Amino acid sequence: MEIEFVKDLNRDLNAILSTMYDEVLIVDKDGTLLRHSDKYIEGLWPDGIDALVGKNLLEVDLQGLPPSVTKLVLKQQKKVSVVQEIPSGDKVLAIGNPVFNARGELERIIIASRDITENIQLKSELRQTKAISNRYKEELESLKNQQTPKHTLIYASEKMERIMKNIEKLSMFSSTVLIHGETGVGKELIAKSIHEKSARSSEPFLALNCGSIPESLLESELFGYTKGSFTGADSKGKPGYFQQADRGVLFLDEIGDIPMSLQVKLLRVLQEGEVVPIGSQTPIPVDVQIIAATHRNLDEMVQEGSFREDLFYRINVVPIHVPPLRERPDDIPLLAYHFIRKLNERYQMRHSFSPDALSLLETYVWPGNIRELQNVVERLFVTADDDLISAEAASQFLRVEKVIKPSTTSPVLASVMPLNDAKQLIENQLLRLAMEQFKTTTKAARALGISQSAVSRKWAKLQSETPARE
């Protein structure tokens, strides 16, 4: 019976060793390998492990293989764990567990080894992933209050790109900003973009057009008033724009239209950070970032005496010049598609522009800038006979004399000359203007109403006849 029990126990042990995931070695007290699991680490035993049964692992170690834990267990007489690097470069975790008899003598050593190279790599990748995740969390934290801007600026030109980079920088501060540009270039959108990117984005943004309010009402709108301060005033009084915009941004459009009598009071608010409502003697502290805008030349107004110099310096801390649309033609197609897409969404239609129509829009000088472009796009949309808006349709709403940008050079004709010579001079000047403005012969051809090959031929001839500059 005892023999059968031992046989059963031996079968169980073999079954366990055959199903082990780790490499398991059973070594006697002298270091001789008695048996092993079916699973073994090939990088540790490149020639296989079966041939090592009955051999002393200590002698195998001396042959240049990484030392197993056998020697350490024999020396320390206790459980040992080590991480070894095998010849293949992989990392192996080896655990040696001594087995003692009833007299406390070492009889066996059970060595379990596992290749942990993949685990180490996974841990390294996990650390890298966590580091990247932390960086993303930090970025998301900084952006959590910045939802998709309500007033997206549409642009592709380098000039607008520089402005946007400048906005990113100054949005970290509360400095006064002066936006200069022609009517319709989008000065208020620039101001709203600054507000949305700043730490004040959750606070009010108020806009006041200083040129649209009579002088008699502008003061009360700006600074507010107390009850009974003047005839027709609200019986409860009214806070002005400065108080309403406290902790936020106040956009003063057309600041060049503020009368001199109010410029002094505005200057005091900017200097002292407090406002005194009409009918009151008590200053009220306000924390407001001022973004002013104008289409006027304030430098000239200062020289003429119609705008205070000290106020000019107060509002011109960070100047931003928004170029007119004619100076950034790359933005025109994007803006046109943006406006027509909005109209398509609103009316569930599918209008679009032909390439020639877009080219025509690019050649137009847009004296009313983006506002005029939006107006023309809507007119084209509601009057279109087909889904595809043609250049012929677009030309009906554009002033012909504004299609090619006027020259800033002197007239080419300074004296009487043969008509054919005059025609050639005019043609050469138009060709130079078109190539200077549109850069490519294809776009120049569309603007001039001739073929691209004709423009290429004429331009090559003109360049060959033009003396090279020193």
pLDDT in tens, 413-432: 544 557 776 677 778 878 88
Looking at residues 100-121, what average pLDDT do you find?
79
Closest CA to 41 of 108, 90, 8: 90
Distance CA 289, CA 177 (A): 8
Which of the two residues, 22 and 379, has the higher pLDDT score?
379
Which of the two residues, 360 and 176, has the higher pLDDT score?
176
Q: Band the pLDDT of 407: cuts 50, 70, 90.
A: very low
- How confident is the model at residue 401, as a pLDDT? 45
Output the average pLDDT for the chain.
82
pLDDT of 147 strictly over 50: no
Exposure string over 220-229, b if 16+ CB within 10 A, otherwise e: bbbbbbbeeb
Q: Band the pLDDT of 91: cuts 50, 70, 90.
A: confident
Q: Band the pLDDT of 177: cuts 50, 70, 90.
A: very high
Phi then psi for residue 155, to 5 deg, are -160, 160
Closest CA to 297 of 289, 307, 288: 307
Most confidently predicted of 4-18, 128-142, 216-230, 399-413: 216-230
Q: Which helix (H) or strand (E) holds 455?
A: helix 452-465
Counting residues of the chain whose pLDDT is more than 70, the rounded percentage is 77
Q: Band the pLDDT of 410: cuts 50, 70, 90.
A: very low
pLDDT of 402 strictly over 60: no
Q: What is the 3-state secondary structure (H, E, C) of 355-387?
A: HHHHHHHHHCCCCCHHHHHHHHHHHHHHHCCCC
- How confident is the model at residue 310, as a pLDDT? 96
- How confident is the model at residue 288, as a pLDDT? 97
Residues 94 and 111 sit within 8 Å (Cβ to Cβ): yes
- How confident is the model at residue 145, as a pLDDT? 43
Which of the two residues, 402 and 133, has the higher pLDDT score?
133
Counting residues of the chain whose pLDDT is more than 90, the rounded percentage is 39
- How confident is the model at residue 412, as a pLDDT? 47
Residues 24 and 17 sit within 8 Å (Cβ to Cβ): yes
Phi then psi for residue 452, to 5 deg, are -65, -35
pTM of the shown model: 0.57
Phi then psi for residue 388, to 5 deg, are -95, 115
Residues 394 and 357 sit within 8 Å (Cβ to Cβ): yes
Distance CA 181, CA 189 (A): 12
- How confident is the model at residue 201, as a pLDDT? 93
Looking at residues 174-178, what average pLDDT do you find?
96
Closest CA to 197 of 173, 175, 174, 168: 168
Q: Band the pLDDT of 146: cuts 50, 70, 90.
A: very low
- How confident is the model at residue 167, as a pLDDT? 92
Which of the two residues, 42 and 461, has the higher pLDDT score?
461
pLDDT of 62 strictly over 50: no
